[in-house]
Amino acid sequence: MSDLSTTYLGLNLKNPLVASASPLSKKIERACKLEEAGISAIVMYSLFEEQIIRESLELDQALAQGEDSFPEAVSHLPDGGLYGVGPENYLKQVTSLKKALKIPVIGSLNGISMGGWTRYARQIQEAGADALELNMYYLAADPDISSSDIESTQVELVAEIKSAISIPLAVKISPFVTSVANFSRGLVEAGADGLVLFNRFYQPDFDLEELEVVHSLDLSTSADLRLPLRWISILYGKIDADLALTSGIHTSSDVLKAMMAGAQVAMTASELLWDGSVKRVEEILSHTQTWMEEHDYQSIKQMQGSMSQKAVKDPAAFERANYMKVLNSFRQLP
């Protein structure tokens, strides 16, 4: 029987299928079912920077009642909606998940500015998290801020958080970076033990009848796999960090492709949210093992990086060649 075990952030996992940050971790019962189905680790839903700011403002109100500025300040913060869980409840959920599960639990912080992050990173560690994932979701809309300024700030944030904790730190990054490889190396040099590729930006739409901006959550498909698959295959062997592929993991084929590109783990959420059944975990893992046995793969480790670009002297030239090949493959319809 093929060995599905892998390692990620220094954690020994029974297989490479990890539940990514999502509402899947909000209920203990569901997390336990995921573990029973075979999921190897769970990344918690994110604690957002805005939630920490809100809690701080509420504390200010308690200490200085009657100040007119407080209600206005809080009104500037967005409604948390489904993720409207305060920091203290978040920390309790970390502890509860750790007590209920045998698999690793990875905490998640979502934000981009300096401040109270180090304190909450420490508290997530103290609550029992086996590792921490920092999700730097940021839309660069200010024309006065350069890309180098943004990247430098994010690298500094990683260094600040890493200095505050002893558990492994993974950084979930955006694909909208001029030089993904250089930025990734900077994050690793700042202390990141792993990189998660990529963060998904949810795009707004317009309601032409109501003339309103509409926000909706579109779950991923297997087609979304291609972008992180390319970059993991490029980064594999070039940076000293573990790589996690997220976005587009829906089938056993997706998991296998992620491993061959060079990922240590394949993270999934949309498939489990869409299907609504933890049986998909069992099916994906079973089909993964069957494929490996049919193709004489003894272990996940044997295939990791087997289709990466590590052996290619000039990946840029390699990609240019593939780009031209794809374009030239198009045939005009009669």
Mean pLDDT value of segment 72-96? 64
Q: What integer is the mean pLDDT of 295-306?
A: 96
Q: What is the pLDDT of residue 79?
A: 45
Question: 6-328: what fold?
Answer: TIM Barrel (3.20.20)
- Is the pLDDT reported for residue 84 higher than 70? no
What is the DSSP annotation of 78-141?
PP-GGG---HHHHHHHHHHHHHH-SS-EEEEEE--SSSTHHHHHHHHHHTT-SEEEEE------
Q: Where residue 65 falls among pLDDT bands split at 50, 70, 90?
A: very low
Burial string for 297-330 (b: 16+ CB within 10 Å, else e) reads beebeebbbebbbeeeeebeeeeeeeeeeeeeee
What was the pLDDT predicted at 76? 38
Asked if 84 and 101 touch (Cβ cutoff 8 Å), the reply is: no
- Over the range 25-37, which residues count as b (16 or more CB within 10 Å of their CB) and which as e? beeeebbebbbeb
Q: Is the pLDDT of residue 60 over 70?
A: no
- What does the pLDDT read at residue 333? 55
Asked if 197 and 244 touch (Cβ cutoff 8 Å), the reply is: yes
What are residue 31's phi and psi, to 5 degrees? -60, -40
Domain borders along the chain are 6-328
Under the banding of pLDDT at 50, 70 and 90, the label for residue 37 is very high
Residue 51 has pLDDT above 70, yes or no: no
Average of pLDDT values for 250-279? Answer: 93
Among 179, 184, 122, CA closest to 154: 184
pLDDT tens profile 146-159: 989 989 989 999 99
Q: Has residue 58 got a pLDDT over 50?
A: no
Q: Which runs of E-coded beta strand occur in the chain?
A: 6-8, 11-13, 17-19, 41-43, 47-48, 105-110, 131-135, 169-173, 194-197, 205-207, 212-214, 242-246, 265-268
Crossing angle for the helix pair 28-37 and 87-100, nearest 10 degrees? 40
- Residue range 48-57: average pLDDT? 57
pLDDT of residue 73: 37
